[in-house]
Amino acid sequence: MLFNQLGLAAELLRAVEENGYTKATPIQTKAIPHVLEGHDLLAGAQTGTGKTAGFVLPILHNMRVAPKGARRVRALILTPTRELASQVNESVQTYGKYLPIRSMEIYGGVSARPQITKLKRGVDVVVATPGRLLDHVRQGNIDLSNIEYFILDEADRMLDMGFIRDIRQIIKALPDNRQNLLFSATFSQEIRDLANKLLNNPSEIQVAARNTTADRVEQLVHPVDKARKREMLSEIIGRGNWQQVLVFTRTKHGANRLATQLGKDGIATAAIHGGKGQGARTRALSDFKAGKIRVLVATDIAARGIDIDRLPHVVNFELPFVAEDYVHRIGRTARAGQDGTAISLVCIDEQKLLADIEKLLGRKLEKAVIPGYEVDARIKAEPLRKQGGQRRAGPPRRGKPGGKRPAGAGKKRGNSQRPGKAARNAKRSRPRSA
Residues that bind ligand AMP (CB under 6 A): 21, 23-25, 28, 47-53, 307, 309, 335-336
Q: Which of residues 13 and 345 has its CB atom nearest to ligand AMP in the complex?
A: 13
Q: How far apart are CA 52 and CA 183, in angstroms?
A: 9
Give 328 or 335: the residue with its C-beta nearer to ligand AMP: 335
- How far apart are alpha carbons 282 and 82 in whole angstroms? 10
Parallel, antiparallel or unpaired: strands 245-248 and 295-298: parallel
Q: How far apart, in whole angstroms, are the C-alpha atoms of residue 249 and residue 314?
A: 11
Minimum gap (Å) between residue 52 Cβ and ligand AMP: 3
**Contact present, 312 and 195 (Cβ < 8 Å):** no
Nearer to ligand AMP, 336 or 393 (CB): 336
Nearest approach, Cβ of 136 to ligand AMP (angstroms)?
Answer: 25
Q: How far is the CB of 149 from ligand AMP (least distance, A)?
A: 17
Nearer CB in complex with ligand AMP: 187/317: 187
Rounded-to-10 torsion of CA 78, 80, 85, 86: 180
Q: Nearest approach, Cβ of 30 to ligand AMP (angstroms)?
A: 13
Q: Which is nearer to ligand AMP, 160 or 318 (CB)?
A: 160
CB of 49 to ligand AMP, least distance (A): 5
Half-sphere exposure of 249 (CA within 13 A, CB side): 27
Distance CA 326, CA 329 (A): 5
- Shortest Å, Cβ 193 to ligand AMP: 25
Stretch (H or E) spanning 296: strand 295-298
E-strand ranges in 238-289 read 245-248, 269-272
Residue 107 CA to its chain's centroid (Å): 15
Contacts 24+ apart (CB under 8 A), 420-423: 420/162, 422/162, 423/161, 423/162, 423/395
- For residues 170 and 185, which CB has a smaller minimum distance to ligand AMP in the complex? 185
Rounded to the nearest whole angstrom, what is the least distance from the CB of residue 77 to ligand AMP in the complex?
12
**Which is closer to ligand AMP, CB of 52 or CB of 417?**
52
- Residue 277's φ and ψ, nearest 5 degrees, are -65, 160
Q: Which is nearer to ligand AMP, 23 or 385 (CB)?
A: 23
Per DSSP, the residues of 333-344 read SSGGG--EEEEE
Which residue number, 45 or 353, has a Cβ lying nearer to ligand AMP?
45
d(CA 30, CA 8): 14
Beta carbon of residue 32, minimum distance to ligand AMP (angstroms, whole number): 11
Helices (H) and strands (E) in the chain, counts: 17, 15
Q: Are 19 and 50 in contact (CB under 8 A)?
A: no
Residue 27 C-beta: closest distance to ligand AMP, Å: 7
55, containing H or E segment: helix 51-63
